[in-house]
A and B are shown apart, each in its own frame.
Chain A
Amino acid sequence: MSRHLLRSLALANFIALAFTSHALAHCFVGARFLPATLATDDPCVADEMSMPTVTRVKTPDMPPAVEWDISGDFSKRITENFGVTISQTWTHIRQPDGTLTTGFQNLGTAFQFQVMKDRSHEFALLTGLNVDWGHTGSTGSGLADTFSRITPTISFGKGFGDLPDSFSWIRAFAVTGQAGYQIPTNSFDFTQNVFIPQQLVYGASLQYSMPYLKSEVIDLQLPEFFNHLIPIIEASFTTPVANNFGNPYTTTGTINPGVIWVGNYFQVALEAVIPINRESGSGVGVLGQLHLYLDDMFPTTVGRPLFGGTSTPPRKLTF
């Protein structure tokens, strides 16, 4: 297997882990709506589907290969606070000499529990266990590992709407973040003769909600299109931290500036993918996603938890 292909596959694996193997739930916390983020996870369980997420990047090789990833994921609440996500990615890598590598990456799953939602402080906390199952993808082409990767993860989201009114437009900002410790089920890859490191997988987003600005802070009477936008910057990183003998402990990752358009039933997102260093890719890639809110589209069927009824039982409201 060529060194170019190995690097391409490593990048493909990073992208798969970063962009597709986690639940991408949309999320209400008090007056705050946190959209589904693309490169990182957001801090809620929900019923939703991303179909498709399309990524185009260039690998770190010189000259670089062009990689396309097309993925989908489906998230389902089992109970009000517990949900499961299944995700799959198809990868297409074209080397400069025309050589093609295509196939599926390993099946990804995420089991997530909503620890808390503090409505008044627009704060949400989520824990999860992400598992990429070995031998479920195209192991023959090298796109999928023969071993599994298990990643306990914690995610949070915080809106700044609880700041005093004097902070005005700043209150429309929100941040999300996540951190996970990825543990491979094998410690050594005998086919490539390398150690398989344990890795810290982490990321964050800074987002500015135009819907929040309009409904909570000030209605600037902008054209309706702009009132649905959430400009966002995401960052996603992976750092080897253990069992990486003989290899550099280099952090790889991307910074993704972009924008999300939020509708009643779906959102559309487009982000640039900017590698943070040479090991993370070549040039600027692009990432796009169509994300469906199943709980809004099908509130009485697939859009509700399997057990425990609706997420928000009617109640007499008091302030």
Chain B
Amino acid sequence: MRMLNFAISALLAVMASTAAEAHAFLDHAEPRVGSTVPTAPREVILFYSQNLESAFSSIEVSDGNGARVDLGKPRINAGVMRVGLKPLPPGTYKVRWQVLSVDTHTTEGSFSFHVGK
């Protein structure tokens, strides 16, 4: 039992000591992944599980025809990345992102949201 306690304690200590270093997963987004919003959002905000390296993280928002509707360079603060949007008419929009966490792991993903009823 003492060995088990020691092993668990050591494991927890290791995890605590590395708490800022892992792949950055998308925790949630605004607008929510797969959601339908009644009015057009003015920006897309992505919340990650880890802090990001701003120089190597990016986001793109496009409409159903593939045309860019974001305003370009994202703003990144810690584990939050946001980008402004052009005025969006009702429709379906695709968000594609790729980020580098502070420990140099890259992750990527994409999702859609819908504007209108």
Do A and B form a real pair? yes
Interface residues, chain A, with chain B CB atoms under 8 Å away = 28, 30-31, 119, 165, 211, 214-219, 221, 264-266, 292-293, 295-300, 310-319
Query: Is B39 positioned at the interface, with any CB of A under 8 Å from its CB?
Result: no
CB atoms of A216 and B22 under 8 A apart: no
Known contacts A219-B29, A265-B22; decide if A312 and B106 are in contact (CB<8 Å).
Answer: yes
CB atoms of B23 and A28 under 8 A apart: yes
A202 to chain B, nearest CB (A): 30
Q: Within residues 41 to 79 of chain B, which ones have a CB less than 8 A from any CB in chain A? A: 49-50, 53, 55-58, 60
Determine the residue in chain B with the shortest Cβ distance to A262: B25
CB atoms of B111 and A215 under 8 A apart: yes
Is chain A's interface secondary structure helix, strand, loop, or mixed overall?
A: loop
CB atoms of B111 and A299 under 8 A apart: no
Q: Within residues 85 to 117 of chain B, which ones have a CB less than 8 A from any CB in chain A? A: 92, 96, 98, 100, 103-112
A211: chain B residues at CB < 8 Å are 25
Which of A30, A119, A219 sits near B28, CB closer than 8 Å?
Answer: A219
Q: How many Å lie between the Cα of A218 and that of B18 in the bound state?
A: 30
B96: chain A residues at CB < 8 Å are 319
Beyond A264-B49, A296-B18, A296-B105, 16 extra complex contacts between A and B, CB < 8 Å: A31-B108, A214-B33, A215-B25, A215-B33, A216-B111, A218-B34, A219-B29, A219-B32, A219-B34, A264-B25, A296-B21, A296-B22, A314-B53, A314-B104, A316-B56, A319-B58
B107: chain A residues at CB < 8 Å are 28, 31
Q: How many Å lie between the Cα of A215 and that of B21 in the bound state?
A: 20
A310: chain B residues at CB < 8 Å are 104
Known contacts A218-B33, A297-B21; decide if A30 and B108 are in contact (CB<8 Å).
Answer: yes
Q: How many Å lie between the Cα of A215 and that of B95 in the bound state?
A: 11
Q: How many Å lie between the Cα of A57 and that of B61 in the bound state?
A: 51
CB atoms of B56 and A317 under 8 A apart: yes
Which of B15, B33, B103 sits near A219, CB closer than 8 Å?
Answer: B33
A305 to chain B, nearest CB (A): 12
